Structure 1
């Protein structure tokens, strides 16, 4: 029995392009260069990279243009928030959630008190 799928229904989601920070690129190039000849492939396999990545990053490092290798298409549309702002936003959401939970619990407690008063 053959299952026929309708055209245009791709079950696999589109993969996201990986991005690498300049610090990561410098670290990998240094680690690759320091590795013995027979262990360079292990570094590439572990990081799921190709030799062409290292060659490109090394050339950029030597030319002093490593910052320009950051893919601008994948950069965030809005600037990153500071750690303090992110923490504040996280805590605000947590407070809102706990306040809703508290109001729900108070309402449930009132209902049980009224029910026990009626039964008494």
Structure 2
């Protein structure tokens, strides 16, 4: 059996790297632009995406997409925590009510016992 090949890791580019490459690409002559892409191992589609993000004024858009995923996960965890806190509050209220009912029944039971004894 042949050894299993490792799957290549996806490259991630920092916002600073993207901005620097965009600036260098925009400043270069048309003939030199292909050389920049080859040197960095990039595709023209990378430049197009980064240019759109920069044009939208989204410096954060030049950053990695993991931030959005992390923000969504944090929001989901906050929602779960709020739901759990609500359930905890309802459970505590129910336990408090059960405790009061138990105390009331105990009091009623104690007050009924002397009446039973006096009849005998």
TM score, norm. by length of structure 2: 0.50
Tell me how far 1:11 sits from its aligned partner: 2.4
Question: Which stretch of the first structure deviates more once superposed, 61-70 or 49-58?
Answer: 61-70
Matched, 1:43 2:29: no
Contact between 1:25 and 1:57, CA under 8 Å: does it hold in 2? Answer: yes
**Max Rg structure:** 2
User: Which deviations, in whole Å up to 9, do the C-alpha atoms of 1:33-88 show, x marking residues without a partner?
Assistant: 11111110000000000000001101100101231341218x99xxxxxxxxxxxx
How is 1:27-106 mapped onto 2 (pairs within 5 angstroms)? 27-69=20-62, 70-72=64-66
Unaligned 5+ runs, structure 1? 77-120
- In the alignment of these two chains, the number of paired residues is 68
Listed as ranges, the gaps of 5+ residues in structure 2 are 71-120
8 Å Cα contact 1:32-1:43 kept in structure 2:
yes
> How big is each residue's C-alpha offset from its partner over 1:8-33, in whole Å with a ceiling of 9 and x where there is no partner?
x6521111111001111010011001
RMSD: 2.3
Consecutive aligned runs of 4 or more in structure 1 exceeding 6 Å deviation: none
Structure number with the higher helix fraction is: 2
Q: Contact 2:18 / 2:50 at 8 angstroms: preserved in 1?
A: yes
